[in-house]
Amino acid sequence: MAFLAGKASAGSTAEATSINMTGKDTNQPPISVEFKVQGGPGQIPATRAYITAGTNKFAFLVPDEFKLASSEPQKVTLMKRDGSCLFTVRVVGPTPGNGKAFDANAARVLLNEMHPEATISSEFGMYAAGVGGPAFEIQWGWGALARASRVGFVPLRGGLLEFALDARPENLGASLGDFNFMMVTFRESDENGKLEATPLSDRI
C-alpha cells in the first residue's frame, strides 16, 4: 500500500517521533503530537500520528515519505521529504456553541485572516471523523512564489479544526491522494476521552 509509512515487525509498537509544543498568549491548551509505528498479527505496519489537545485526542495515519516539521503551539505540520507539499492540522478554537452554525461565511472570515491576498478558485465540503465542514481551494503569489492550498474547517467535538494542504500549483493535484488518505483515517476521541484508531488489516 503506497501511502503507508514506516516499517515494524508483526506485533510491535514503536514510537518513531515525538515533539511537545507549548505556546504563549493563547487561550487554547498547547497540543502535543507523537508518531508511532504500529503493527500486529493480521495488520499492515503503519505510522500513526496521535495529537493531544487538552482532554481531546485525535489520530490519523501518516502517508508515506512524510515527516513531522512543526513546533507551533496550536498546529501540527507534516512535510513530504522531497519538499513538494505540506499538510497541517490546526486547532482554531472551541467548536461554536449556542446552536451557532459554522458555515462557509464564517470559514471565509478565517481564511481571509490567514491569506488576505489569496483568490478562492473553488468551494466544497471536507470531512474528518465523520463530520463535514466548509473547504476551499485557493491560490496566491505569482511566478516562483506562486502557491496553492486546499483548506477546510471541520467543527469536531474537541474543537474547530483546520486541515490544509499547501504546495506549488503544479504539485497540488499530485498531493491530493496523500492528503485524502490522512483525512479518511482521521479519528477523534469520544465524550469519555476514549480514542479508537482502527488498525489496517493485511487483507485490504
Contact yes or no for 1/44 (Cβ under 8 A) = yes
- Is 3 or 36 the better-scoring residue by pLDDT? 36
Instruction: Report d(CA 187, CA 11) in Å as an integer.
Output: 22
pLDDT for res 203 = 54
Determine the Cα–Cα distance for residues 78 and 193; give it in Å rounded to an integer.
Answer: 25
pLDDT value, residue 99:
62
What pLDDT score was predicted for residue 124?
Answer: 96
pLDDT of residue 19: 36
Q: Predicted confidence band at 42 (pLDDT cuts at 50, 70, 90)?
A: low
Per-residue pLDDT for 197 more than 90?
no
Q: Say if domain 13-188 classifies as CATH 3.40.1000.10.
A: yes
Least confident of 21-25, 52-56, 134-138, 170-174: 21-25
Q: Distance (Å, rounded) from C-alpha 6 to C-alpha 63?
A: 9
Q: Domain residue spans in the chain?
A: 13-188
Choose the most confident range, by mean pLDDT, from 6-10, 99-103, 175-179, 195-199. 175-179
Is a pLDDT exceeding 70 seen at residue 120? yes
According to DSSP, the residues that pair with 142 across neighbouring strands are none
Cα(first)–Cα(last) distance of the chain, in Å?
A: 9
Mean pLDDT for all residues in the chain: 83
Q: How far apart are CA 202 and CA 21, in angstroms?
A: 34
Report helix, strand or coil for 148.
strand
* Bigger pLDDT: 118 vs 98: 118
Structural contact between residues 67 and 78, judged by C-beta atoms closer than 8 angstroms: yes
pLDDT digits (tens, 9 = 90+) for 130-188: 999 999 999 999 999 999 999 999 999 999 999 999 999 999 999 999 999 999 999 99
For residue 30, what is the DSSP state? P
Q: How far is the CA of 199 from the CAs of 3, 40, 61, 76, 154, in angstroms?
A: 14, 9, 10, 22, 23
Q: State the pLDDT at residue 72.
A: 81
User: Higher model confidence: residue 41 or residue 204?
Assistant: 41
Instruction: Read off the pLDDT band of 192 (50, 70, 90).
Output: confident
Q: How confident is the model at residue 153, as a pLDDT?
A: 96
pLDDT at 98: 65
Among 79, 57, 71, 90, smallest CA distance to 178 is for 79
- Which is more confidently placed, 196 or 61? 61
